Amino acid sequence: MLYCPENGRETGLIRRATLALADGTVLQGVGFGASARTGGEVVFNTGIVGYPESITDPSYRGQILCQTYPLIGNYGVDPARFESERPQIAGYVVAEFCARPSHATSQKTLDDWLRESGVPAIAGIDTRALTKRLRVHGVMTGVLEAGDGPQSPARLRREAREVPDPNARDLVAEVTTREIRIANPDGAKTIVVIDCGVKLNIIRSLIRRGAAVVRVPADTDAERILSFAPKGVVISNGPGDPERSAAAVAAVRRLLAAGLPLFGICLGNQILALAAGGRTFKLKFGHRGQNQPCLEEGTKRCYITSQNHGFAVDAASLPRGWAAWFRNANDGTNEGIRHRRKPVFGVQFHPEACPGPTDTEFLFDEFLEAAR
């Protein structure tokens, strides 16, 4: 039977599902979504709401996403909540999913949406135990299989150890726009967005503030970007290891020399640091959720932020002229950098939210004020 927590009832046909991790752990539950087998990096998100936004966030490319909140799917799926055109995750892991959502804007169930999108999912496992394992041992590769047929835990365990690390791929190239796109062309000032896997609410946040937005592929060179005569450039969020985005790093290095206002978000913050001559490193299990506290350096201000990243900037590696701007109150890692003289800055968190708090949305105002 298809697992549904409502009143303890079950509906539909049984589909099995197995999740195997590279460390040998095997978890078996009930399958939903697509009948398929997938591999990727298994990560967790601590958010209470916002599963459509997370599932469509390009920063999750190549990853099997585990939601720590126990009930997922209860308000269904509404395309207005999407952060890209389609699901980006490789697979989905939840404790319970709701087969009969109840919300005025819901257009389909989570099960139907993932099935149509080719994304396999598993429910009915102890996601708390899985999350604790990933926190202790670090995120790792895994294999998720869902379907009607027999499944071999031993085979999946072997396959989990052989899954290539998706961070070794150029994940940004898989999610960036293939062509230049212009939104709100009659805006008061032109802002170029280097699309490394941009969330749509970054673009919406700029448009709401009256900007014309030129969205360019991640490998666009600086000369082409400058040809649009932009007042400023945003380097967007995106998936994977920032060192794989060599073209974007080179372009930002040239833009730094040109003196344009620059704003890096998430992966964009890391690319900005690399362009400046700093270094980045991989976190043990990353920051993914809507309740990450960030302290502004030199003040007592603490902002609650939405985050989704597995790499961070080594603040000690920043060259002269640069300063750490924010740090994570939980683990002390860098959450933002800025130039001491130029209108150039980046943050590791997501000021556009979606999902999550909008406490740091004012950063778009600061950037557009600088982009005169």
Task: Tell me the catalytic residues.
Answer: 266, 350, 352
Looking at residue 14, the DSSP 8-state letter turns out to be -
The separation between the first and the last C-alpha atoms of the chain, rounded to the nearest angstrom, is 60
Residue among 308, 307, 283 at smallest CA distance from 294? 307
In angstroms, the CA 288 to CA 91 distance is 16
How is the beta sheet containing 211-217 ordered, strand by strand? 181-183, 211-217, 189-195, 232-235, 262-265, 344-347, 334-339, 322-328, 279-296, 302-314
Residue 128 is encoded by which pair of tokens? 């708390």
Residue among 246, 257, 234 at smallest CA distance from 321? 257
Residue whose structure tokens are 């257009």: 107
Q: Are 258 and 229 in contact (CB under 8 A)?
A: no
In angstroms, the CA 3 to CA 304 distance is 34
In angstroms, the CA 108 to CA 194 distance is 32
Start-end of H helices in 153-245:
153-162, 171-175, 200-208, 222-226
In angstroms, the CA 88 to CA 59 distance is 8
Residue type for 189, please? Answer: K
Residue 298 is encoded by which pair of tokens? 């030199």
Q: Which CA distances in Å does 222 have to 49, 194, 210, 258?
A: 38, 10, 24, 9
In angstroms, the CA 54 to CA 308 distance is 9
In angstroms, the CA 265 to CA 360 distance is 12
